[in-house]
């Protein structure tokens, strides 16, 4: 069996991915705030470091794949910290353990929302690795109703850009580690439960994310893609954000490929 570390494994996409892999006989170490093998808070540098250290200990210093799913969509500064640094710093901390695998792989969950308007200053601060400045910008954004909901798309734009920048480098491609992201449309999980419960919420969501193919998706639609990206079969897909979104990206981005 292969050994996987999965963040956000207590719920939604992470949980479904973990369950499919376990059913196939793979070994999964789940990381989340609670209810998984490793309890940790990925919103702080100390929490990430401690969670990565504990996960590394449980896999005896060698891991075949890390799948970063943990995320938040609330219009608060913590969303930027968890969605960006909770993925990137956690992955960087486990990179040495990945180099001890014969077929190491990494996948992250970005979002269709990465295509929506962003605040470039927040995206830049995240990519610069400056959590203090990012926090200040996100705090100002959260205080303004016109920008509070832009924290989430900005965090996901930064993730897709980070994957693009990092994937070809010595740390990842140079170490034989394919690094990619997936971008879901509207997935039916606890994250979207409240939004999809009302007619208004559904209408607003569908206006932002038109899904001509099969409408809203179950978490397994994303799980299967994450599993392929982190499988031995993926030898040459790197630096991509793969949209698995019922055709939403094709509708919204159109010819701009
Ligand atoms: P979810 O809420 O069901 O699961 C997210 C998990 O992340 C939860 O278990 C939560 O406890 C964990 N988490 C949150 N903050 C954390 C922290 N500080 N430390 C550790 N763990 C923390 O949501 P989901 O829909 O499964 O989302 C998974 C990923 O998919 C997220 O990155 C989300 O942004 C992304 N995504 C979701 C959708 C959607 O429509 N649901 C669409 C696009 C992208």
Q: Quick one: which atom of ligand 1 is closest to the CA of 184?
A: 43
% of the chain with per-residue pLDDT over 90: 98
Nearest to 204 by CA among 189, 186, 221: 186
Residues annotated as part of the active site: 152
ipTM at complex level: 0.99
**Domain segments of the chain: what residues?**
3-116+158-247
List, for residues 111-159, the tens digit of each pLDDT value: 999 999 999 999 999 999 999 999 999 999 999 999 999 999 999 999 9
Mean pLDDT of the chain: 97
pLDDT at site 166: 98
% of the chain with per-residue pLDDT over 70: 100
Task: Using the mean position of ligand 1's atoms as its centre, give its distance from the Cα of residue 255 in Å.
Answer: 30
* Whole-structure pTM value: 0.98
d(CA 30, CA 10): 7
Reply yes or no on whether the pLDDT at 257 is more than 90.
Answer: no
> What residues contact 166, with CB distance under 8 A and at least 6 apart?
172, 179, 239
Task: Using the mean position of ligand 1's atoms as its centre, give its distance from the Cα of residue 102 in Å.
Answer: 29
pLDDT at site 93: 98
List, for residues 201-224, the tens digit of each pLDDT value: 999 999 999 999 999 999 999 999
Nearest to 84 by CA among 127, 118, 53, 47: 127
pLDDT confidence tier of residue 21, bands split at 50, 70 and 90: very high
pLDDT at site 62: 98
pLDDT at site 221: 98
- Mutational test site, ligand 1, from 77, 91, 189, 194, max ligand atoms within 8 Å of CB: 189
Nearest CA to ligand 1 atom 26: 12
d(CA 114, CA 252): 12
SS3 42: coil
Q: What residues flank ligand 1, with Cβ below 6 Å?
A: 8, 10-14, 32-33, 41-43, 69-73, 82, 109, 111-112, 184, 186-187, 189-192
At the top level of CATH, the class of 3-116+158-247 is alpha beta
d(CA 143, CA 149): 10
């Amino acid at each position: 069996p292969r050994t996987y570390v999965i963040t956000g494994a207590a719920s939604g996409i992470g949980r479904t991915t973990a369950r499919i892999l376990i059913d196939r006989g793979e070994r999964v170490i789940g990381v989340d705030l609670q209810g998984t093998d490793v309890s940790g808070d990925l919103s702080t540098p100390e929490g990430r470091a401690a969670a990565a250290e504990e996960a590394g200990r449980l896999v005896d210093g060698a891991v075949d794949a890390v799948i970063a799913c943990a995320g938040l969509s609330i219009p608060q500064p913590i969303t930027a910290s968890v969605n960006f640094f909770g993925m990137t710093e956690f992955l960087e901390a486990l990179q040495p353990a990945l180099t001890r695998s014969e077929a190491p792989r990494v996948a992250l969950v970005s979002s269709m929302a990465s295509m929506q308007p962003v605040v470039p200053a927040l995206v830049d601060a995240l990519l610069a690795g400056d959590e203090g400045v990012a926090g200040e910008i996100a705090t100002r954004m959260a205080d303004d109703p016109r920008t509070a909901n832009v924290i989430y798309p900005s965090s996901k734009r930064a993730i897709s850009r980070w994957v693009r920048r990092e994937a070809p480098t010595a740390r990842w491609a140079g170490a034989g580690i394919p690094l990619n992201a997936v971008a879901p449309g509207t997935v039916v999980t606890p994250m979207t439960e409240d939004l999809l419960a009302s007619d208004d919420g559904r209408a607003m969501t569908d206006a932002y994310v038109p899904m001509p193919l099969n409408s809203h998706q179950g978490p397994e639609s994303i799980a299967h893609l994450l599993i392929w990206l982190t499988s031995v079969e993926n030898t040459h897909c790197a630096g991509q954000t793969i949209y698995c979104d019922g055709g939403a990206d094709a509708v919204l981005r159109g010819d701009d490929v």
